């Protein structure tokens, strides 16, 4: 497939599949609130959107720590998930503090924290008395590792190779392939794997025989504890019947199917309300792209222009872009890159700083 043919094919798929070139999404994020406090004794909590059947550790710590490496106060399983009540003992080491941080960390990368007033007349972490009526702002910081994967390459009608990022550790996944408009839901099972150490790795799956002649396909991975991610890829398998050669003629050597590449962007870091850093792969060379950001679910179409850049011959890059002031307080933001001759790619990100 030559360059021009690829461009034509890419433009066609962008017209017939405008809803399917979406990045994988997560199903929920964690949050919780405080319902009652007995100074230096207990705090009562009500959760929201917790995942089902996940083992959690509850910790408490000083203001400014986000509860990281705090004092362990309880362990529990979220059972059915969603909304439920908890009552936690305040550790003696934090008695007298005006504000205390509560943090939850769960198997598979789940985490969140929040702050409550323990003693309105209490002390700060440095032991000094806090003036009555003064307080720091209390902000819930939901978090979760967001599993993502991109299509590394396709052997049309035969195999597809994916490259993952941010996968949780030691989770059993099932991979499925289906038609392009299904997001892979209830697709044909093509493999099982364990994410082992998580993070980034590659996996190759056979394209099911029933789908080998489809023009485009979805691939989805689903894991225990509700983890999932999906993407799609063009699959241009040859369908023309070969003519029978004459007895005296040598058989023609079939052409090797072309590997189809799609420009993709992946989020690597976020400085909440300020910048987002991403990497790009398989971009066409020497093309000027406009970078836009917009509301979630818009795919950043007609979004706020934030930058322009020109791709080089490597097809790969890493760049940071400023988050527009109008979107600085949004929980989720879409980001998109468009070239004047039809190439495009988009993704989305949580507007939370990536450092826990």
CB atoms within 10 A of CB 169: 14
Q: What percent of the chain has pLDDT over 70?
A: 78
**For position 260, what pLDDT does the model report?**
47
Q: Kindly report whether the global pTM for this prediction surpasses the value 0.85.
A: no
Q: Are residues 112 and 39 in the same domain?
A: yes
Q: Are residues 20 and 161 in the same domain?
A: yes
Residue 183, domain extent? 1-26+146-237
Which sign, positive or negative, has the C-alpha torsion 287, 293, 294, 297?
positive
Q: Are residues 1 and 39 in the same domain?
A: no
- Which residues are paired to 140 by β-bridges? none
DSSP SS3 for 172: strand
CATH code for the domain in which residue 322 is found: 2.60.40.10
Edge-first strand listing for the sheet containing 288-295: 304-310, 288-295, 332-339, 344-350
CATH code for the domain in which residue 220 is found: 2.60.40.1930
**For position 253, what pLDDT does the model report?**
40
CB atoms within 10 A of CB 319: 14
Q: Are residues 17 and 35 in the same domain?
A: no
Is 345 contained in some domain?
yes
The span from the CA of 45 to the CA of 58, in Å, is: 11
Q: Are residues 151 and 82 in the same domain?
A: no
Q: Are residues 11 and 158 in the same domain?
A: yes
Is 123 contained in some domain?
no
Is 79 contained in some domain?
yes
Q: What is the DSSP string of 261-296?
A: ---EEEEEEEETTTEEEEEEESPPTT-EEEEEEEET
**For position 142, what pLDDT does the model report?**
45
pLDDT digits (tens, 9 = 90+) for 325-336: 999 988 889 899
The span from the CA of 228 to the CA of 174, in Å, is: 9
Find the angle CA(178)-CA(221)-CA(172) to the nearest 5 degrees: 140
Is 131 contained in some domain?
no
The span from the CA of 51 to the CA of 45, in Å, is: 16
Q: What percent of the chain has pLDDT over 90?
A: 22
Q: Are residues 85 and 166 in the same domain?
A: no
CB atoms within 10 A of CB 73: 17
Last-in-domain residue among 202, 237, 272: 237
Is 57 contained in some domain?
yes
Is 269 contained in some domain?
yes
CA 204 to chain CA centroid, Å, is: 20
Is 242 contained in some domain?
no
DSSP SS3 for 6: helix
Task: Give the phi and the psi of residue 251 in degrees, each rounded to 5.
Answer: -70, 140
Q: Are residues 233 and 273 in the same domain?
A: no
pLDDT digits (tens, 9 = 90+) for 38-94: 999 999 999 887 888 888 899 999 988 888 889 999 888 888 888 888 999 999 999
For the chain, the domain total comes to 3
DSSP for residue 323: P
Q: Are residues 166 and 21 in the same domain?
A: yes
Where do runs of H (alpha helix) occur along 180-255?
none
Mean pLDDT score, 139-164: 75
The span from the CA of 315 to the CA of 343, in Å, is: 13
Last-in-domain residue among 188, 220, 237: 237
Is 129 contained in some domain?
no
Q: Are residues 152 and 209 in the same domain?
A: yes
Q: Are residues 19 and 72 in the same domain?
A: no
Cβ atoms 142, 28 nearer than 8 A: no
Q: Are residues 226 and 88 in the same domain?
A: no
Structure tokens that stand for 246 in this block: 């004459």
């Amino acid at each position: 497939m030559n360059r021009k043919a690829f461009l034509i094919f890419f433009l066609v798929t962008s017209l017939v599949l405008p809803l399917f070139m979406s990045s994988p999404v997560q199903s929920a994020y964690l949050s919780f609130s405080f319902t009652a406090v007995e100074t230096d004794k207990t705090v009562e909590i009500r959760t929201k959107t917790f995942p089902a059947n996940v083992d959690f550790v509850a910790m408490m710590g000083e203001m400014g720590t986000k509860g990281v490496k705090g004092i362990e106060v309880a362990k529990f399983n979220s059972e059915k998930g969603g909304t439920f009540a908890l009552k936690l003992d305040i550790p003696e080491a934090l008695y007298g503090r005006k504000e205390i941080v509560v943090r939850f960390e769960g198997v598979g990368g789940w985490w969140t924290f929040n702050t409550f007033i323990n003693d309105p007349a209490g002390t700060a972490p440095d032991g000094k008395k806090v003036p009555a009526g003064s307080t720091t702002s209390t902000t819930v910081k939901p978090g979760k590792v967001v599993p993502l994967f991109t299509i590394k390459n396709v052997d049309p009608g035969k195999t597809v190779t994916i490259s993952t990022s941010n996968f949780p550790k030691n989770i059993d996944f099932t991979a499925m392939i289906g038609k392009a408009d299904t997001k892979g839901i209830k697709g044909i099972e093509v493999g099982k794997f364990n994410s082992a150490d998580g993070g980034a790795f590659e996996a190759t799956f056979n394209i099911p025989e029933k789908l080998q002649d489809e023009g485009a396909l979805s691939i989805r991975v689903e894991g225990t504890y509700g983890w999932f991610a999906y993407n799609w890829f063009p699959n241009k398998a040859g369908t023309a019947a070969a003519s029978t050669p004459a007895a005296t003629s040598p058989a023609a050597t079939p052409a090797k199917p072309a590997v189809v590449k799609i420009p993709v962007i992946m989020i690597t870091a976020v400085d909440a309300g300020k910048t987002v850093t991403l990497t790009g792969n398989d971009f066409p060379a020497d093309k000027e792209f406009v970078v836009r950001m917009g509301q979630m679910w818009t795919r950043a179409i007609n979004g706020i222009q934030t930058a322009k850049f020109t791709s080089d011959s490597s097809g790969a890059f890493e760049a940071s872009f400023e988050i527009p002031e109008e979107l600085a307080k949004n929980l989720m933001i879409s980001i998109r890159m468009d070239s004047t001759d039809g190439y495009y790619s988009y993704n989305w990100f949580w507007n939370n700083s990536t450092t826990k």
